Homo-oligomer: A and B are copies of this chain.
Amino acid sequence: MPSEKNTIVRIKDIALKAKVSTGTVDRVIHNRGRVAEDVKERVLKILKELNYEPNLMARMLGSKKQYVFAALLPDHAFDAFWLAPKLGIEKAERDLKQYGVRVEQYVFNPHDPQDYVKKAIKLTKMQPDGVLLSPIYYNETLPFFKKWNEAKIPFVLFNTQIADYDPLSYIGQDSYQSGLVAAKLVHYGQANPCSILIAHIDEEINNAQHLVKKEQGFRNYFIQNNLSHHYNILRVELNRSSQSGFIKKLDEIIESTVDLRQIFVTTSQAYDIAKYLEQRHIKNIRLIGYDLIPPNLYYLERGDISFLINQNPKGQGYWGINQLAEHIVFKREVPILKYLPLDIVTAENLNYFIDEKDDAFVDI
């Protein structure tokens, strides 16, 4: 075992031992070139030997470098879900401010691919040091991935995953696993055979992949646990654009399925079903959904929604910016995939997941 030096190793120490100047060591550390090959190797060796770790404070102090990240995300005026990621991004910005990091937000209308592209172009023009985005339009996104790759601008994805052009990392949920969780809850609360409805309530087709995975996880739970013969699992795709169509379709299902006891809503629109059940005075059907948005919370607290699975939207924003900073500012390795916890939320533990406290994100 090499002796554990208690004292901090500085560039000056390295320079001394390598019989060069601090400038040379600096050039080696940052690969700035202009240093002889043999010297470089010697310094590199000593760097390892002494286990040099840069003093981040000093580094940030000494460098007047400013970093600008760009965040491309949907306007929460159109869908309340997107407020939380925005807050997370802003929290991260506050945390990283002292390291010279600034975040510029580019908000787009999630119903308008044109706007998405427009904002993406604007963003690219700014030449940010890194990009965080929720790429809800696949085809529209790919060209930008290519551009950013060529410009060597790292980008991090959140909430929606696209594997092409290897992003720096993806932050989000494990949709399949969340389906398993939902199924477990359904199964736990439903001992007797019955029918179960999987409801996909799409506003857009954006997150189709997610919904498929959620359904797969949900169904596989019953298969893996040899419960398929106990439960009759139905599925429906609902569209809120036509209020009457929405109700009509539900009416049909309810009438034709007398033993329907549970509905699993794969999107954040569980409140729509809750409202429907309320209007129809149906009390013996339980609901599980996603996302802690206000209308869902209303029905959760009334007991009309049993559970909500929290997708940690604030954390997605926070960690997204954080990953960028880790990579770009601190030059550390970052995991390609960062799955956030699948929180099971009831009226009883709700407080801990919606509170305004800023520090609910820290990964310990």
Using CB atoms, name the residue of chain B closest to A303.
B225
Set B61, B184, B318, B364: member contacting A361, Cβ < 8 A: B364
Copy total for this chain: 2
Known A-B contacts A57-B98, A98-B56; A358 and B349 likewise in contact (beta carbons under 8 Å) = no
In the complex, A306 has a CB within 8 A of chain B: yes
Are B318 and A340 in contact, CB atoms less than 8 angstroms apart? no
- Residues of chain B within 8 A of A88, CB atoms compared: 364
Q: Which residues, 339 to 364 on A, are CB-close (under 8 Å) to B?
A: 339-344, 346-349, 351-353, 357-364
Instruction: Write the nearest CB–CB distance from A312 to chain B, whole angstroms.
Output: 9
CB proximity of A325 to chain B, nearest CB, Å: 13
Considering only residues 132-158 of chain A, those with a C-beta below 8 Å from chain B are none
Residues in B whose Cβ lies below 8 Å from that of A352 = 339-342
Partner of A61 from the list B58, B319, B351 (CB cut-off 8 Å) is B58
**Alpha-carbon separation in the docked complex, A92 to B317 (Å):** 23
> Which positions 197-223 of chain A face chain B at CB distance < 8 Å?
221
Q: Which residues on the B side are within 8 Å of A353 (C-beta)? A: 341
Contact, CB under 8 Å: B348 / A184 = yes
Interface of A is mostly: helix
Q: For residue A217, which residue of chain B has the nearest CB?
A: B348
**Within 8 Å CB of A73, what residues of B?**
none
A364-B184 in contact given A344-B346, A346-B344, A348-B177 (Cβ < 8 Å): no
Q: Is A60 an interface residue (CB 8 A)?
A: yes
The reply to whether A344 and B341 form a contact with Cβ atoms under 8 Å apart is no
CB-defined contacts of A184 to chain B, threshold 8 Å: 346-348
Which residues of B lie under 8 Å from residue A351 when comparing CB positions?
177
Q: A364-B88, A364-B91, A364-B314 are in contact. Are A349 and B359 (CB under 8 A)?
A: no
Q: List 28 A-B contacts (CB under 8 A).
A: A56-B57, A56-B98, A57-B57, A57-B58, A57-B98, A88-B364, A177-B349, A177-B351, A181-B348, A185-B346, A188-B306, A189-B189, A315-B364, A319-B364, A322-B362, A341-B352, A342-B348, A342-B349, A342-B352, A344-B346, A344-B349, A359-B363, A359-B364, A360-B363, A361-B362, A362-B362, A362-B363, A362-B364
| Closest 4 pairs between A and B when the two form their complex, measured CB to CB | A361-B364, A359-B363, A362-B362, A341-B352
